[in-house]
Amino acid sequence: MLFNSLDFLIFLPLACGLYYLLPARLRLPWLMLGSLVFYGSFGWSNLAWLAVIVVITLVAARGLSTTNTAPVRRLALTAGLVAILGLLVV
Q: Looking at residue 74, what is its pLDDT?
A: 92
In the three-class reduction of DSSP (H, G, I as helix; E, B as strand; rest coil), residue 67 is classed as: coil
DSSP tag of 15: H
How far is Cα 2 from Cα 55, in angstroms, rounded to an integer? 26
Q: Looking at residue 21, what is its pLDDT?
A: 95
CA dihedral 66, 70, 73, 78 (to 10 degrees): 180
Sign of the torsion angle spanned by Cα atoms 20, 22, 26, 32: negative
pTM over 0.75: no
Q: How many CA atoms lie within 13 A of 59 on its CB side?
A: 14
* pLDDT tens profile 10-39: 888 999 999 999 999 999 899 888 888 888
Q: Looking at residue 17, what is its pLDDT?
A: 93
Specify whether the CB–CB gap between 51 and 24 falls below 8 A.
Answer: no
Q: Looking at residue 24, what is its pLDDT?
A: 93
